[in-house]
Amino acid sequence: MPIDEILFEAEESMEKAIDHLKHELSGLRTGRAHTSLVDRVRVEYYGAQTDLRALASITTPDASSILIKPFDPSSLKDVIRGLEAANLGINPQSDGKQIRMVLPPLSGERRQQLAGKAKEAAEQSRIALRNIRRDANKKVDNEEKESLMTEDQVKSGRDDVQELLKKFEAMVETLVAQKTREITEV
């Protein structure tokens, strides 16, 4: 396998790790209500686990609340159970047709906890990126063992993989710094 293919595979995998981090960070609450807070909620609907988005429209009518309108009014209780089971720390309030989730203002301590969660997610992403680097370096080593690459090509390949890692680690730092800023902003 040529070094270009190894680098391409590594870059694709690293992009997936960054996408996963973005998804994780979108679920962290900032000072404003956002529909991504309930994106990952699964609801037991007619015996099957179903995404909340498939069962209801989700909107944010103002900065501190999320409004959920089930398409099927009979699924209201199932949606409430799913929201409670998701353990979001927000109590769903129903009026019989729709569900309103009012987000209380974040305390300073809670903001620090959320910033810590963002940093944990970043560390998991860094670990994933390093594992991808390790796998790419193993592929380069295997190519050398099979005499498909020279020592110079191997050294150049390892340097390219390291540069790729640095690029994606910088992306992780940027994403986490931005999210931490959003969380700690009052």
% of the chain exceeding 90 in pLDDT: 31
**CATH class held by domain 3-27+107-184:** mainly alpha
In order of 16, 51, 186, the CA distances from 94 in angstroms are 38, 19, 29
What pTM did the predictor assign? 0.71
Per-residue pLDDT for 31 more than 70?
A: no
Task: Please give the pLDDT value at position 44.
Answer: 83
Mean pLDDT, range 89-93, rounded to an integer: 82
Strands (DSSP E) found in the chain: 42-45, 48-51, 56-62, 65-70, 92-94, 99-102
Q: What's the mean pLDDT when you consider all of the chain? A: 87
Q: Please work out, in degrees rounded to the nearest 5, the angle formed at the alpha carbon of residue 101 by the alpha carbons of 86 and 184.
A: 85
What pLDDT is stored for residue 182 in this prediction?
84
pLDDT per residue over 102-157, tens digit each?
Answer: 887 778 888 888 888 899 999 999 999 999 999 999 998 888 888 888 888 889 98
Query: Domain-by-domain residue ranges, the chain?
Result: 3-27+107-184, 35-102
Identify the pLDDT of residue 88. Answer: 74
Return the pLDDT at 186.
Answer: 64
Yes or no: say if 128 and 120 are a contact pair by the CB < 8 Å rule: no
The amino acid occupying position 151 is E
At residue 94, the pLDDT reads 86
Report CA torsion sign: 162, 168, 173, 174: positive
CATH annotation of 35-102: 3.30.1360.40
Residue 30 predicted with pLDDT over 90: no
